[in-house]
Amino acid sequence: MGSNVHLLVLIHGMWGNPTNLAELDRIVTEVHGKREAGTDDDGETPQLEVLVAQTNRDESTYDGIDWGGERIAEEVDAKAKEIESSGRKLTKFSVTGYSLGGLLARYLVGILHQRRFFDEVQPVNFNTFATPHIGLLRYPSFISGVWARFGPTFLSRTGEQFYGVDHWSATGRSLLEVLADKDRIFYQALCLFPNIAIYANAVNDITVPYCTSGIDTYDHFANHEFNGMDIEFDPVYEPLIKHYTPGELSAPMKPKPRVFSIKWFKSFQPSRILPPFLQFRFPINLVIYALIPILVPTFIILATIRISLSARSSRARIRLMEKDESRHTKLVNIFANLERDMETAVAEMIEGRDPQAAILGADSANVSAGPSSRESTPPPSTMSSTTKSAVMESVAEGASVPGSPTNGEGKLCRKKRAPKPPPSQPLLTPRQHAMVLSLNALPRLKKHLVFIHPVRNAHAPIVCRDVKRFPAHTRGEGVVRHWADHFEL
């Protein structure tokens, strides 16, 4: 009889490739690849097999969480068949995603659950590193506003889903909302895993900030340098935080200088302006600094052109995939058809009710999801969830709605607006607040916070993404080893 296999799938992030997770692969294989004692339910030690996802890489990461998840599901199917054909038996399954890869992992387990993959294979570990679980965040700053405005365009379908402006569901909801819905297959698939753990950078992650990777509504670490916060590291797995004592919320925060002001430029001193691979000694450094006014605009222009062309190619690929009849059995299409059927049934059921009852009925009928190109138009007598959202948003803005309370002069009674958050805190939407509430209700969810400081961007070091070119990335090795040591085989 062949040996039992525990399959671990590793999924990299945006613009990434499999080499980004080389250290995760190496360390988990080092820890579990030659494990001696212990048995599984069948009385045999399972053999760890690591699959580093290959098909959704580089420019393919623009194509959306859904299409990326479908690609990886095909890889899992192929790997499962390979294992079975070799005389072994696939008995356990785990998945770990980094950055965008964590969202792909959440979509992937939904696909596998829909295919009844977990009827025969036991789900064990679900982990993410620096994943934007509630999407990319907007902050009250000019640069953040620019990214929020142009990100969905430049990053194609993935950008739309990152910022929650897509209408993935046939009833108008974004994909991230559907992924966090307790009544949908994606959330239910997550609940099957006995070990769910997320690793989030508490500070210095300018790519995926704490609130979205740590699934929180408030950034407790934003002012850590000034509010007296006390941080205790894990003695074995530093920079993992063992315990922290929040500082005073009212502690004054050092105001940030205006972008491109003299103080802003001086704030880069004493740290160096250029990243390590562009730092040169005298006199070459003087030449580089002199060329910065030319190099920076040139880089921005070339990067914009490159990203725009990649987004254009992505949209062309998506159109071809949506026309491919062989892909009609994909989860994205199955859910779209199911939701349209349910929407029609609910429309008939609620016909004749008042508009408010129609709103409630439409909301309870949000079954699942499909791509925006496959949305159906609801009957004129009903109000879709998209219309409902518009009504609710208009109420928030003070518009008059039939049946709404007024002050006697025909004007809507408005509630006081919530105070504007400080610059260090994100501008979360009501939908993001709902996602935080839902995801934090996951059973057995564990959060591990990482404190890599000082560093320009902690997003890469948390997984030791490229230790050969950037020695500073080794600062996250304690995090990776904690993940490997606590990985249940």
Nearest in space to 96 (alpha carbons), one of 9, 199, 191: 9
Q: Which residues contact 298 (CB under 8 A, 6 or more apart)?
A: none
pLDDT in tens, 342-364: 555 544 555 554 444 444 444 43
pLDDT higher than threshold 50 for residue 367: no
pLDDT in tens, 116-160: 999 999 999 999 999 999 999 999 988 888 889 888 988 999 999
The mean per-residue pLDDT over the stretch 463-471 comes to 95
Nearest in space to 321 (alpha carbons), one of 377, 374, 376, 375: 374
- Full-model pTM: 0.76
**pLDDT confidence bin for 327, thresholds 50/70/90:** low
**pLDDT confidence bin for 278, thresholds 50/70/90:** low
The answer for 43, left when phi > 0, alpha when psi is -120 to 50, beta otherwise, is left
**pLDDT confidence bin for 335, thresholds 50/70/90:** low
CA-based R_g, the chain, Å: 24
What residues pair up with 4 in beta bridges, in sequence order?
89
**pLDDT confidence bin for 324, thresholds 50/70/90:** confident
pLDDT in tens, 390-400: 333 433 443 33
Using alpha carbons only, what angle is made at residue 169 by residues 164 and 170, rounded to the nearest 5 degrees? Answer: 140
pLDDT at 384: 40
Q: Which residues contact 415 (CB under 8 A, 6 or more apart)?
A: none
Dist. CA 365–CA 112, nearest whole Å: 24
The answer for 250, left when phi > 0, alpha when psi is -120 to 50, beta otherwise, is alpha
Dist. CA 123–CA 55, nearest whole Å: 23
What count of other Cβ atoms lies within 10 Å of the Cβ of residue 316? 11
pLDDT at 262: 67
pLDDT higher than threshold 70 for residue 291: yes
pLDDT at 89: 95
**pLDDT confidence bin for 298, thresholds 50/70/90:** confident
Number of residues assigned to the chain: 489
Give me the percent of the chain exceeding a pLDDT of 90: 53
